[in-house]
Amino acid sequence: MGSIFRFKQFEVDQGNCAMKINTDGVIIGAMAYQEGAARILDVGSGTGVITLMLAQRHPEALVDAVEIDEEAYIQATYNFRQSIFADRLRSINSDFRDFHPEVSYDLIVSNPPFYTKSLHNPDPRKKLAKHADFLFFEALLDFVALHLSVHGEFHCILPIGLAEEVVALMLPKRNLYLQRIINISSYPDADPIRSLLAIGKRTGEVGYDTLIIYERRAEHTEEYKNLLKPYFLAF
């Protein structure tokens, strides 16, 4: 019973997933938006929660979800079939590096593993879900450069330091450009802990913004509540 997470327009059973629903995931699921997007891809879909949030926000879009872990793929497929968006969702059990779509995507979204330069988790499924080295991000950005539409965007959420390395070292050699960056802090007086990057193929002025999650301990900011209000029953 405790494995079911209920949202306003859908439910997510996460009982068989190594990576559960988390703050990073729901933030990027709520923030990622591309006006007029017809095709969307969630890379590393896990439970499918981000895919479902994207389908809710983009009511005309077809949304694909690629997931390497078979149990997570089965769980996400079940969650998709139980949703009101079922006819617009497609679940794919594959490493994204072995996925060769015949279409371009207007929006690609990923809440990727980012425990680079850290100890691996001894649980093999959690290790796979949480750990990635820089070759992973090189491959992910190669995929984005190949399959993102000309006016599309790739959104991902990363720790601050890793986000800076991605922007400075990995984007230039792929002709990808930062469109917007949102720095996320837990509290008003705290340093940012995450960056949400919007990356595309167009050059231009970069937009900067911030998001603060908590006003004080156990009390979310109005900004955070407004962001998640379309999805969370509690808001």
pLDDT at 77: 97
pTM for the structure as a whole: 0.92
For residue 200, is it within any domain?
Answer: no
Quote the mean pLDDT of the chain. Answer: 91
Per residue in 219-231, pLDDT tens? 999 999 999 999 9
For residue 228, is it within any domain?
Answer: no
| CATH code of the domain covering residue 137 | 3.40.50.150
pLDDT at 67: 95
For residue 128, is it within any domain?
Answer: yes
pLDDT at 2: 60
For residue 211, is it within any domain?
Answer: no
Q: Three-state DSSP class for 227?
A: helix
| Number of alpha helices (DSSP H) and beta strands (DSSP E) in the chain | 7, 12
For residue 210, is it within any domain?
Answer: no
What are the φ/ψ torsions at residue 154 (nearest 5 degrees)?
Answer: -110, 125
Tracing tokens 């955070």 back to the chain, one arrives at 224
What pLDDT band is residue 19 in, cutting at 50, 70 and 90? confident
Number of domains in the chain: 1
For residue 202, is it within any domain?
Answer: no
Rounded distance between C-alpha atoms, residue 223 and residue 155, angstroms: 20
For residue 131, is it within any domain?
Answer: yes
Per residue in 66-121, pLDDT tens? 999 999 999 999 999 999 999 999 999 999 999 999 999 999 999 987 644 443 44
Containing 129, the helix (H) or strand (E) segment is: helix 124-130
Tracing tokens 């029953």 back to the chain, one arrives at 233
For residue 169, is it within any domain?
Answer: yes
**Residue 70: which domain range?**
4-175
